[in-house]
Amino acid sequence: MKFDMHCHTKEGSLDGRVGIEDYIRILRDKGFQGMLVTDHNSYDGYRSWKKERENRKDEDDFIVLKGIEYDTINAGHMLVVMPDGIKLRILEVRGMPVSLLITIVHAYGGILGPAHPCGEKYMSFGGTRLFKKSRDSVMRKLDFVETFNACETPESNRAAKELAREYYLPGFGGSDSHKEKCVGLAYTEFADLITCESDLIRAVKKKPPSKLEGNITTEPRRKRSALRIMYWSIPSGSTISFLPCCGRTNAMSEQNIWNLASLAGKAAVAE
């Protein structure tokens, strides 16, 4: 099953320019079976799709998974996926330290990993002081790495791939699309049947990936070059492959973080 694993919608991200129904149409036309909605600190894009689906009578075989791109205070952006039926409202309040985020996500059975970890400074884990000081202790608690982001440079993606390899973690490929021309420019392909968030979590947790490689010639956002595409095997022979593109975008006060965290259990509700 072919998924775009990093999608920003107009309904959920301030910098998103593509409505979720347009995502579904474009991705289906490109041969995708699903997408992971990863709006910035918001589930509004997913909520919009769910509300629209409830008003329909027809069945839709395109899979829309609920995720989020969370802005930590000290480790850049993290992609988070919680089990189906669980939504933590604290994940829509940006600014937790990554250690607390990891604790909360894992306590409720979710998974998380760094988005574009070797990309733009402050937005990426690799550009933070924490990465330089405590990289090993954080990486060993994560569940996957975004090893290809269509908005990043080949150098950034190569470094992300090496990071995943070093810690023997599965890789995700996602477009990180905010504009229509970027939708579906990267993908993750699963051999397992993925119909919900819990299926995805089980697939990622099965085993780390093995590596395959291929070559294509394409035109990145800066200059034309021969780009080496990385393929990673996700559980049961699944693969991930990718193509490149473009376009992206206050932390809450530390004294409120622990108060909000203590409410996390009460805020876990059925979606």
In angstroms, the CA 207 to CA 102 distance is 20
pLDDT at 121: 80
Say whether 167 sits in a helix, a strand or coil: coil
Q: Taking a C-beta distance cutoff of 8 angstroms, is the pair 130, 121 a contact?
A: no
The model's confidence at residue 243, banded by pLDDT at 50, 70 and 90, is very low
Tokens 């021969």, residue? Answer: 226
∠ CA 246-227-190 to the nearest 5 degrees? 80
Reference 130, options 76, 74, 78; nearest CA is 74
67 pLDDT above the threshold of 60: yes
List pLDDT tens digits, range 73-124: 999 999 999 999 898 999 999 999 999 999 999 999 999 999 999 998 879 9
Instruction: For 181-214, write each residue's pLDDT tens digit.
Output: 899 999 999 888 999 999 999 999 986 543 323 2
